[in-house]
Structure 1
Amino acid sequence: MTPVLATFEQLSKQMLIDIGTLVRCESPSSDLEAVAASADAVALVGTALLGVEPERVIVDGCTHLRWRLGEGPRRVLLLGHHDTVWPLGSLETHPWSVEDGVIRGPGSFDMKIGVVMALYAAAHVDRGAPITVLVTGDEETGSDTSRALIEQSCRDVAAVLVLEASADGGALKTARKGISDYRVVVSGRASHAGLEPEAGINAALELAHQIIRIAAIGSTELGTTVVPTVVSGGTTTNTVPASAEVTVDSRAWSREEQQRVDREIRALRPVLPGARLVVTGGPNRPPLEREMSAELFAIAARVADEAGLGRLGESHVGGGSDGNLTAGLGVPTLDGLGAVGGGAHADHEHALVEEIPVRTALVTMLVNRLTEPVPSDERVPKK
């Protein structure tokens, strides 16, 4: 056992206490007061570990925290979020618990364990290592208020390590699909459905044509999904609908595919005479393409092997994270370094206790390797 791993094994009980503190402080993204209270809890844990209070950045009422530590040319950003998808009251049906080596509780796996891991790793890296810890409060709803802060925090960063939960079996996430969201609104003309349906322009029928077209934009071969999701339209059962709309979720592995989908959705044209279409939305997160994580993954795998932490696996996933944003800026990014378990956003959300000190040791040693003041053969590529 390496000294770093031994340290976190000794600290594991305190880490569980801190994780429990954060999980018990519910923080649904849409409840800004709850997010603010959660930020207070994260700040207390972080200040106790790091010896300095965080910078609080409040944008449109949403609270984000940032610690900027050390000085040096090869700064590393540890990135995570403290908001969750779980509504207030979820603890009543999904209580915090640690039983038989398994942690359960709303938001534990995604990703309050990762937040605690980031803070403990930052507290135990080599003295003076140049690191930034950024914990945002709106990742689960698209990072609208934190995007500028994330971009600002990347300006002098050589690498980003995202403490989101791992993929299956503890695999790191070396690629994520880019995400686009659209709203397609159809305008027609109302008329009586029984007396003179021919006098109307049926927006629901037009939308049906468009939904078939939209779904066909996807590519099974390239892994591009274009999925009509929420559909609405019409007013009463005896009225030809004057309006209808659909929201669309699209995901793609490459920026090229994301842009192709955007062009094709914006090129949609009405089928029915007199109908009108309005398309809003667009790309929300660029893809985290594997080329942005490949060298960091190789370094992490080497660090894990040298420390006897086991063989690291990698996975490509469809879900997005703030790692998509940092990779889109051209900053080398490695994701999925957080908790090992499963069930994100689901009733069976859980994490394995035994993996927490191991993963925290990996992050700590990886930061040390990446912030070495003397250039080595393992330099992360420049932006």
Structure 2
Amino acid sequence: MLSDLEELVRCESFSADHAAVARSAEVVAALGARLLGARPEVIVVDGVTHLRWSAGTPRVLLVGHHDTVWPSGSLRTHPWSVADGIARGPGVLDMKAGLVQMFHALASLPSLDGVCVLVTGDEEVGSPTSRQLIEDAARACGAAFVLEAAADGHGALKTARKGTSRYEIVVHGRAAHAGLEPHQGVNAAVEAAHQVMSLVGIGALTAADGATVTPTLLSAGTARNTVPALARLSVDVRAPTGAAQDRVDELVRGLTARTPGARLEVLGGRQRPPMEPEASADLFALACRTATDLGQRPPRGIAVGGASDGNYTATAGCPTLDGLGAVGGGAHADTEHVDTAWMVPRARLLARLVTAVADGRPCGGPR
């Protein structure tokens, strides 16, 4: 497993570098072909390479991605390494170790009948070219297991995820010389500052719903001696329910300019819908029972603010359990790592879960 993980990590796959993602897809396809005994279907959408394996009538969907947030060349500063049971390297946790665990879990099964595997190449940027593939596959299956990393260093499964919305507020003002006639201008930077505080107010208003509204990127102006005619403000929104996501959307789109002469333009909107707890309840109960049967400690289940392709499978009506991938920490950061001691136990847990669903066993039971 570590040899396979090294091979995947050493093949960089920055989401924005479609050529790198294509090379990574070749490596992932070869790994899957070796362990599963079948080549995948290669699907290229708008230059992004996705892979799909499917055997028989699909009943269980396994979802992963091979793209990472790490720019090409990151291996020079964050090389692959394994020491004292800790594996490091770009994308090792999110989510190349999850792919390795998935392939080895499936390789241990006597048959892949009823199993569909989808490995996408653009999850880290919101899955714009793979969303339709994910939702179509989810609608055909009775359960989806998502190979994103566990929620903490102790293997917690992700039983709910907030939905995401992304906005860009464009402020249109009017330029003027900052020394000679600043009064002739309409300062887009000042208006952007007003909008930052308005967004903070929206966040306070919707906090009781569990939503977060965070102004992030901010830019304005073209020269030090010119009243800014244009400003741009990016906003990150997370919401645990569809109703909360809708409420924030209405409030953001209702923003009005405070500076006379300024005009607002609100771009963007809802991205990933929430994965609500009901989508995972039965599968989580099954996972706890299965872990006990394997002699493993039953996992905890927690809700997280980050989104994944599990948001799409759940909203498509497919029961979904997320966080079945690697155990470690530091995703997207310099400290990204995998605790290798968990790789085999998590692969065994996944294999049992896939078998249970593919065989048509009920996922319900006491909660």
- Do the structures match in fold with TM over 0.5? yes
Q: 2:167 aligns with which of 149, 171, 182?
A: 182
Contact 1:118 1:133 in 2 (8 A): no
Work out the CA distance in 1 between the residues paired with 2:155 and 2:363.
27
TM-superposed CA distance for 1:377, in Å, is 6.8
2:298 to 291, 311, 318: 311
The one of 96, 115, 135 aligned to 1:151: 135
Which residue in 2 is equivalent to 1:214? 199
Of 101, 104, 114, the match for 1:117: 101
Q: Which runs of 5+ in 2 are unaligned?
A: none
Aligned residue runs from structure 1 range 247-258, under 5 A: 247-258=234-245
**Matching of residue 91 in structure 1 with residue 78 in structure 2:** no
Tell me, yes or no, if structure 1 residue 275 matches structure 2 residue 262.
yes
Following superposition, the deviation at residue 71 of structure 1 comes to 3.2
- 2:363, 2:225 → 1: CA distance? 73
Q: Is structure 2 residue 49 aligned with structure 1 residue 57?
A: no
Structure 2 CA distance for aligned equivalents of residues 91 and 191 of structure 1 = 47
Residue of 40, 52, 56 corresponding to 2:26: 40
1:7-18 matched pairs, under 5 angstroms: 15-18=1-4
Contact 2:283-2:363 at 8 Å conserved across structures: no
Q: Say if 2:333 is the partner of 1:346.
A: yes
Q: Which residue of 1 aligns with 2:343?
A: 356
Identify the residue that residue 274 of structure 2 maps to in structure 1.
287
1:70, distance to aligned residue in structure 2 (A): 3.1
> Which of 113, 119, 141 is 2:125 aligned to?
141
TM-score by length of 2: 0.95
> Equivalent residue of 1:236, what SS?
coil
**Partner SS, residue 244 of structure 1:** strand
| C-alpha contact 1:150 1:326 (8 A) present in aligned 2 | yes
TM-score, normalised on structure 1?
0.91
Contact 1:342 1:350 (C-alpha < 8 Å) held by counterparts: yes
Q: Please state whether the residue corresponding to 1:238 is helix, strand or coil.
A: coil
1:378 aligns to 2:364 (yes or no): yes
1:106 corresponds to 2:90: yes
Give the superposition deviation at 1:376: 4.0
Tell me the alpha carbon deviations over residues 122-171 of structure 1, each in whole angstroms, 9 at most, x when there is no partner.
Answer: 22234253010110001111111111111221231111100101011110
- TM-superposed CA distance for 1:195, in Å, is 2.1
Unmatched 5+ stretches in structure 1: 1-14
Q: Offset of 1:40 from its aligned partner?
A: 0.3
> In structure 2, what is the equivalent of residue 192 of structure 1?
177
CA deviation string 1:195-243 (max 9, x = no partner):
2222221111111111110121113333311111111111222221111
State the aligned residue count.
Answer: 362
* Structure-2 change in CA distance of 1:298 and 1:240 (3 Å): same
Q: Which amino acid aligns with 2:64?
A: G
**Does 2:229 correspond to 1:242?**
yes
Distance 2:103 2:245 in 1: 35
- Work out the CA distance in 1 between the residues paired with 2:31 and 2:363: 36
String of CA shifts for 1:11-56, please: whole Å, max 9, x gaps: xxxx111111101111111111111110000000100111111000
Q: Give the letter for the 2:164 counterpart.
A: I
Deviation string for 1:263-284 (max 9, x for gaps)? 0010111112221111010011
Distance in structure 1 (CA, Å) of the matches to 2:315 and 2:264: 31
Secondary structure in 2 matching 1:84: coil
2:210 aligned partner, one-letter code: G
Asked if the contact 1:126/1:368 (under 8 Å) is kept, the reply is: no
Instruction: Work out whether 1:226 is the aligned partner of 2:213.
Output: yes
**Secondary structure, counterpart of 2:139 in structure 1:** coil
Q: Is the 8 A contact 1:76 1:130 kept in 2?
A: yes
The range that moved more, 303-312 or 170-179, is 303-312
Q: Which runs of 4+ in 1 moved over 6 A?
A: none
Change (3 A) 1:312 1:283: same
Contact 1:122 1:131 in 2 (8 A): no
Task: Answer whether contact 1:215 1:226 (CA < 8 A) is retained.
Answer: yes
The alignment partner of 2:285 has SS state of helix
One-letter amino acid of the counterpart of residue 257, structure 1: A
Q: Among 253, 260, 263, which residue is 1:266 paired with?
A: 253
- Tell me if the contact between 1:285 and 1:324 (Cα under 8 Å) persists in the aligned partners: yes
Report SS of the residue matched to 1:354.
Answer: helix
- The answer as to whether partners of 1:114 and 1:339 remain within 8 angstroms in 2 is yes
2-side partners of 1:128 and 1:48: how far apart?
A: 14
**What letter is aligned with 1:44?**
A
**Residue of structure 2 in register with 1:323 after alignment:** 310
Deviation at 1:378, TM superposition (A): 3.3
Partner secondary structure for residue 268 of structure 1: coil
1:71 paired residue among 47, 57, 60: 57
CA distance in 1, matches of 2:231, 2:160: 36
**Bigger Cα displacement from structure 2, 186-195 vs 165-174:** 186-195
Instruction: Give the Å deviation of 1:353.
Output: 1.4
Q: What's the % identity of the aligned pairs?
A: 56
